[in-house]
Every structure is written in C-alpha cells, then in structure tokens.
Structure 1
Amino acid sequence: MPSEPQPVSLMGLSRGVRADAARNRAAILEAATSLMADDPDEVSMQAVARRAGVGVGTLYRRFGDRQGLLLAVLDEGERQFQQAFLSGPAPLGPGSGEPVDPAERIRAFIHALLDRTLANLELLLAVERQEGRRTGPHAVWHLHLRALCSALGSARVPDPHYWADLLLAALAPSVVRDQLALGARPQALHDALDVVVVRVLRS
C-alpha cells in the first residue's frame, strides 16, 4: 500500500527572504490575486507591477515569468489544502482520535478539492493551459487517493491507481468549467460527484 505523500508546493521549496523582499512579495501577490480574479489571461506582468507599486523587473526576478506568478498566487491556498488533508481534523484529515474510515476521507477530499477548484477556477484553468493537468500538487493528490483506496482493500477497489486517476479526472478544471457552461450548479456537481464516489467505494 502506498504511504501518504509529503506536501508539495506549486513553487518548490521556499527560501528565507529579507523583510523588504517579503513585503514586496506580499504586495505583488495581493495585486495579482485581485487583478486575476476574473480573467488571468488578460493580466500582464506590467499591470501587476503597477498595482503592487514595484518595478516589473522585480516580478521577473522573483517569479521568473507570468506562469511562475500564477503558480505563486495559488501556492498558499494549496499549502493550506495539503495540510488539511494530510494532517488536519477528520474526516478530511486523519484527525487525532480513532482511525477514520478511508471511504469517508476519500469522500471528504473529493468534495474539498471540488470546492477549491470552483473557488479558483480561472486561475487553475490558466495553469492547466500552460502545464496540463498534472501540476506538482496533482502527484500529492493522486498518491493520497491511492493510499486511501488501497486501505479499503482489493475487494472494494481492485486498482487504486486507476480509481485515483478516475476521481481526479472528474475534477480537472476544464471538466468543471465545461459542466458549469452546460448549466450545472455547484451543488449539482457535488451531488453528482457524491453518487459516483458512493457507487465506487461501496461496490
């Protein structure tokens, strides 16, 4: 059975930074988050620099390029999400008391990931267009689901790797976008996902 993964940042390992650099980073991320809320593809590095009150060269030195800035905007939320499902309270996390049914943790994880995708859809779509669906955190999500599926036993989940792929495919940003475009409401997506998860895990 695969072991639980270690947290992975969208930006890789963080480094210590000076206080002024930390303030600049915070201002840049606040500006980028605000500007990219509606249509990230239309936001330039120059616009972010103006809003943050820094030179555009500062952005390129700190984040490399526009894609690096997109990932940085999403990074803090991703860190918090990983902490929640890897070590937080049950049922999303393992909790600190009695062991939690793996099926309940899978269900909680899938719904939490859908909420995160809905809340950050435009940013995640922009990242998906650049990097595809398998960004760094995808490996953490996949290994986490594989570990939980394996814990259910081969009679219930004969191929944990495949079921992890299947569950995550339904939560790809482009899939969520297409369902919303067809008129699905967020609650309807949760309800449909719940039916799939229940059928898979209780078969």
Structure 2
Amino acid sequence: MAVEKGLRADARRNRDLIVAAAQDLFLEQGVDVPLEEVARRAGVGVGTLYRRFPDRDALLRAVGEESLRRLDDLAEAAWREEPDAWHALCRFLRGSVELRLGVLPAKLEPHLHQGMRAGADLHEIRQRVIAGVQRMTEQAQADGALRADIGPGDIALLMTLQVYTPAGMHNEQAMGRVVEIVLDGLRADGGSPLPGTPLDEDDLHHYTAVRLPPAQ
C-alpha cells in the first residue's frame, strides 16, 4: 500500500489498518458508517484515526486511491504470471469483481467521486491501468481467444460489475457464477452478436476521464 512519506513504522501500520477497515465497512454498510466503528474495526483509537484522516472525505479518498493501486497491481500480476493474454484478462476481471470496484463509487456523492478521480498523483497509475486493459484486450484478440466485437471500453464496464446477492446465497458464490457467465460470453466462439459497436480506446479514456463542474 502506498502511504504518506515520512511516516514511522507504527503510524504507517495504523494508517494501513484504518484504510483496510474503512474499505470493508464502506462496502458492507455504506459510506455513512460511523468513523468510531471504523476505528474499532481497525483496532485503533478514534484520535489515531482523526490524526491521519481529519474528516470522512479524506478517508474516502484514501480508500478510493488504494482501490486503484490494487487494480494496477492486479493488472500487472495477471500479465506477468498468466500463460497468455486471455488468461490474464480472465484473472484481471475476476479480481476486479472481487475488489467490488463498482460499489464504492455508487455510494459516493458525485462531486466527491469526481474530485477523487481528479487527483494529479493518481494520473500515472490510472494511465497504467488503461494501458494494461488495452494490452490484454488487443493481444487476446490477436491470439484468437477474445471475440472481435469487444473493445477495451467494454472491459472497463465489466471491471465495475456489481452483483446483487439474493438472501440466503453466499456473496462470493453469486459473484463467481456471474463472472464465469460473463467470461464465457467474451470467448471468441461466444454466442449472439452484440448490439452497437465495440467500445474502443477513446471510450476507455472517456470512461476514466474526470469531468468537473464549471467554475462559478
């Protein structure tokens, strides 16, 4: 996890624990969960939490940034460790859904979400994720494994797939089934033609672009 420079080892550990606890609780209960509950889950005092994160927005930004960094790590590991681009793409999409990337943005106030995405320090990592998605998509198609009517922008949409879990069904089971159905549909020998045209590189950049409100 990337952290603020100059933190002592104990302060760094506390920060990491807080961000991890916040991520879990925001996904489980929503972004309005009491920060005291975040501190309890992290095993730190409330004062420690507020020293690192003066308000809820600061903590939300840290959680969002950490999710993006984990996504970048996931893309790099999949490309490096899998035998080919198709298996890398499958691993990447499975991991993206496990990270529940679409849940947190859906719970955020839109202006805060855009502000989080506008951070200059995240531009480089965002560009690496975009490049990784393009690389996996193009190579999997060149290998004949990924259907031709899919573009990298389509993959970006699937990265934020949310799965509703019915009462009584384990969340991981539901997500796993849906992801495998999606992956089967991405195969080169997949079923019915898709409506419209593939979402291409321009759509991928548009999907990840930051659109801030006009200055007053």
* Shorter-chain TM band: 0.5 to 0.7
**Cα shift at 1:43:** 1.5
**What does residue 80 of structure 2 align with?**
94
The answer for the alignment partner of 2:46 in structure 1 is 54
Which of these residues, 178, 182, 201, is aligned with residue 189 of structure 1?
A: 178
Q: Deviations over 1:66-116 (max 9, x none)?
A: 233134346556545533431x3xxx2313xxx832222112211221222
Identity %: 20
Unaligned runs of 5+ in 1: 1-8
Shift of the 200–82 alpha-carbon distance from structure 1 to 2, 3 Å rule, reads farther
Q: Is the 8 A contact 2:103 2:162 kept in 1?
A: no
CA distance in 2, matches of 1:30, 1:94: 26
Offset of residue 123 of structure 1: 4.1
C-alpha contact 1:150 1:157 (8 A) present in aligned 2: no
Find out whether 1:166 has 2:154 as its counterpart: yes
Q: Distance in 2 between matches of 1:139 and 1:200?
A: 31
For 1:31-60, what per-residue CA distance to the aligned partner results, in whole angstroms no more than 9, with x for missing partners? 53565452133323455457731338x62x
Query: For 2:162, which of 163, 170, 176 is the aligned residue?
Result: 176
Contact between 1:33 and 1:73, CA under 8 Å: does it hold in 2? yes
Distance in 2 (CA, whole Å) between partners of 1:26 and 1:140 is 23
Contiguous gaps of at least 5 residues in structure 2: 194-216
Q: 1:146 aligns with which of 110, 134, 146?
A: 134
Return the offset for 1:19: 4.0
Q: Structure 2 counterpart of 1:21, which letter?
A: A
Specify whether residues 83 and 170 from structure 1 end up closer, same or farther in structure 2 by C-alpha distance, changes over 3 A only: closer
**Aligned 1:11-22 pairs, distance under 5 A:** 14-22=4-12
CA 1:15–1:28 in structure 2 vs 1: closer, same or farther (change >3 Å)?
same
Cα drift, residue 147 of structure 1? 1.4
When the two chains are superposed, the root-mean-square deviation of aligned CA atoms in Å is 4.3
Letter in 2 for 1:198: R
Contact map agreement 1:111 1:190 (CA 8 A) in 2: yes
Using the size of structure 2 for normalisation, the TM-score is: 0.57
- What is residue 200 of structure 2 aligned with on the other side? none
Asked which structure has the greater RCO (Cα within 8 Å, sep 6+), the reply is 1
Does the CA contact (< 8 Å) of 2:36 and 2:46 recur in 1? Answer: no
Question: Of 68, 76, 82, which residue of structure 1 is paired with 2:72?
Answer: 82
* TM-score (structure 1 length as normaliser): 0.59
Q: How does 1:16-55 map to 2 (within 5 A)?
A: 16-26=6-16, 28-29=18-19, 32-33=22-23, 35-36=25-26, 38-45=28-35, 47-48=37-38, 52-55=44-47
Aligned length: 175
Distance 1:126 1:154, change over 3 A: same
